[in-house]
Amino acid sequence: MPPQGATAKVTLEVIKTACSNCNLQELCLPYGLNQMELAKLDELVSTRKRLKRGEHLYRSGQPFDSIYAIRSGFFKTDVLIEDGRDQVTGFQMTGELLGLDGISSEIHTCNAVALEDSEVCTIPFALLEDLSREIHTLQKHFHKVMSREIVRDHGVMMLLGTMRAEERLAAFLLNLSQRFTARGYSPAEFNLRMTRDEIGSYLGLKLETVSRAFSRFQEEGLIAVQQKHIRILNTPGLKKLMTH
Amino acid sequence: MPPQGATAKVTLEVIKTACSNCNLQELCLPYGLNQMELAKLDELVSTRKRLKRGEHLYRSGQPFDSIYAIRSGFFKTDVLIEDGRDQVTGFQMTGELLGLDGISSEIHTCNAVALEDSEVCTIPFALLEDLSREIHTLQKHFHKVMSREIVRDHGVMMLLGTMRAEERLAAFLLNLSQRFTARGYSPAEFNLRMTRDEIGSYLGLKLETVSRAFSRFQEEGLIAVQQKHIRILNTPGLKKLMTH
DNA sequence: AATTCGCGTTGACGTGGATCAAACGCAGTC
DNA sequence: GACTGCGTTTGATCCACGTCAACGCGAATT
């Protein structure tokens, strides 16, 4: 890439990093704020942080003082217990928040790891609380975001508690597809950022089971898999599998 | 019961129903508030509601406008999906909050059912938001409560995703024991308010598996079961079973 | 006291997914 | 271009839990 091209790109990014100019407004915290309120939020969210694939954003046990909004990239969160067992508790993408679990005890209770090179906005939580006492809309939106996380977790509990392997994987693919769509990407074609093992951990399955389910979906013409590249060929078919 | 006895009891309850006088302060929302702040909270939480065993506090799909604090009694929450599958997402006891899931969409996303005669404080959510913009401590505490719910759900996901039947049941019993203890009841002896089927649904197991696990624990001298009555005989034994 | 009903227990058997094991494919690296 | 290593696929076997079925028990009803 020619140097002037690179320079132009950097400049553009600097301009765009303000909340007031962020194209994630409708996904992230700033939802529904007016110009003045956005200006205040910009001040709050001044720090940004880049992470390389594989880097930890935070680790379980570390003191909590900020939550993070993903500007770009892809993360997983996982919890680890003494005896070595661990579980992926979620995958987070652009516009989603990380770190809400740390609010309760002021200590992070899980690890957040970048699954690709990523960038996050650091939101000091004490300041967010201050500002959300001033701005009603921000308060309301923040509460909704936390509550949505609870509802999402109930969905995962449902999945883990009542669904069979193929139903779980179908639900997982449809969920990813829907989230990519909401971000303007193709609903039918995407690259998985996580390994089969991580998918399995999230879905309460072993990696072999995940792999077999992928193969089976392919045989049945529901999807086309090639390593991490997924094309969904028959969305209704996947949905029917779920409700089965 | 003699009439004067009943009268005395009612009067006492009326006095005690104010947040400022509630013996659940350290479990419920009012944590850490001063006298003036408590007085304001009392105003907010003016309505109380009694429910008989089996009654619904709210149902999935109903409009959300309040959260509820349990003054006494025992609840379960469950979600039901189209194809008839359902899952118990939690059991709630005295001092715990119900309804946080409804904040996100302003519609309840699960059912809350009383498992014994119960009484709740109705907390209009809009008013809670107003008041928590005034009272920093209340805001902070409310955020912690929501976050704690997320952490709790992660624990359940862990349980459903990685533990085997007996480990799940051991974790469940220890969790109940710990919550009873926090409320001043015996850590070792209590009555289950839910059926084997409901326990199974929560733990992602069939009722027969729950029943067999109970029997097995009894054979091994870990607990004594008699219908819904449980005595924990060997807490370390149960813990070891979990970390196994 | 007999009857019904909801729950719980226990046994026999089947199966979905775990486990173990081998081989493959792609991406770096030398 | 061969080498190495991680992630993935696929097959064979095993086992924890689900399923199906019978029976038991206590509480409420008559």
Q: How many CB atoms lie within 10 A of CB B159?
A: 24
Residue A33's pLDDT is 85
Query: Residue A156 domain-assigned?
Result: no
Q: Give the list of residues 6+ apart from residue B7 with CB closer than 8 angstroms, or none.
A: none
Segment among A44-48, A135-139, B158-162, B172-176 with least mean pLDDT: A44-48
* A128-CA/C10-C1' distance, Å: 57
CA of B103 to nearest chain A CA: how many angstroms apart? 6
- As a rounded value in angstroms, the CA-to-C1' distance for A77 and D7 is 20
| Same-domain status, A121 and A183 | no
Domain match, B182 and B126 both: no
Q: Which residues contact A220 (CB under 8 A, 6 or more apart)?
A: A237
The pLDDT value recorded for residue B17 is 67
Beta bridge partners of A63: A107
Of B135, B150, B181, at which residue does a domain stop? B135
Question: If 0-12 CB within 10 Å is exposed, 13-18 middle and 19+ buried, where does residue B123 land?
Answer: buried
Q: Quick one: what percent of chain A has pLDDT higher than 70?
A: 92
Residue range B122-149: mean pLDDT, rounded = 95
In a domain, B149, yes or no: no
Task: Name the percent of chain B lying above pLDDT 90.
Answer: 76
Tokens, residue A23: 């194209």
Are B127 and B171 within one domain? Answer: no
- Within 34-93 of B, beta carbons closer than 8 Å to A belong to 79, 81-83, 85-87, 89
Q: How far apart are CA A73 and CA A83, in angstroms?
A: 31
Classify residue B42: in a domain, yes or no: yes
Query: pLDDT per residue over A196-207, tens digit each?
Result: 999 999 999 999
Whether B146 is covered by a domain: the verdict is: no
| Res B20: pLDDT | 84
Nucleotides of D under 7 A from a protein CB: 7-12, 16-21, 26
Is the domain of B126 the same as that of B189? no
Q: Is residue A151 part of a domain?
A: no
Q: What is the pLDDT of residue B211?
A: 98
Residues B125 and B176 in one domain: no
**Whole-number pLDDT of residue A4:** 43
Share of chain B above pLDDT 70, in %: 92
Which CATH number belongs to the domain containing residue B74 in this structure? 2.60.120.10
Is A46 a member of any domain? yes
Largest CA distance in chain B: 56
pLDDT bin (cut points 50, 70, 90) of residue A12 is very low
Domain co-membership, A105 together with A187:
no
Size of interface A-B (CB pairs under 8 A): 137
B142 within a domain of the structure (yes/no):
no
A88-126 burial, b if ≥16 CB within 10 A, otherwise e? bbbbbbbbbbbbbbbbbeeebbbbbbbbeebbbbbbbbe
Q: How many domains does chain B have?
A: 2
- Tell me which of A116, A135, A154 is where a domain ends: A135
pLDDT of A1 > 80? The answer is no
> What pLDDT is stored for residue B16 in this prediction?
55
Is A176 among the domain residues? yes
In a shared domain, residues A59 and A104: yes
Query: Are B120 and B18 in a shared domain?
Result: yes
User: At A17, is the pLDDT very low, low, confident or very high (cuts 50, 70, 90)?
Assistant: low
Phi-psi region of A103 (alpha: psi -120 to 50; beta: other; left: phi over 0): alpha
B9 and B90 co-located in one domain: yes
By C-alpha distance, the chain A residue nearest B154 is A89
**CA pair distance B71, B30, nearest whole angstrom:** 13
CATH of the domain at A176: 1.10.10.10
Task: Say yes or no: A118 and A206 in one domain.
Answer: no
User: A139-178, pLDDT tens digit by residue?
Assistant: 999 999 999 999 999 999 999 999 999 999 999 999 999 9
Does A150 reach chain B within 8 Å, measured CB to CB?
Answer: yes
Kindly state whether residues A15 and A120 are assigned to the same domain.
Answer: yes
Residue with more model confidence, A45 or A244: A45
Mean local confidence (pLDDT), B32-54: 88
pLDDT, tens only, B181-221: 999 999 999 999 999 999 999 999 999 999 999 999 999 99
Q: For residue A242, which of A153, A152, A162, A177 has the smallest C-alpha distance? A: A162
Domain that holds residue A203: 163-241
**Burial category of A25 from C-beta neighbours within 10 Å (exposed 0-12, middle 13-18, buried 19 and up):** middle
- Beta-carbon separation of A154 and B101 below 8 A: yes
B102 and B180 share one domain: no
Half-sphere exposure of B45 (CA within 13 A, CB side): 26
**Which residues of chain A neighbour B82 with C-beta distances below 8 Å?**
243
With beta carbons under 8 A apart, name residues in chain B contacting A105. Answer: 144, 148, 151
Handedness of CA B164, B165, B166, B171 (dihedral sign): positive
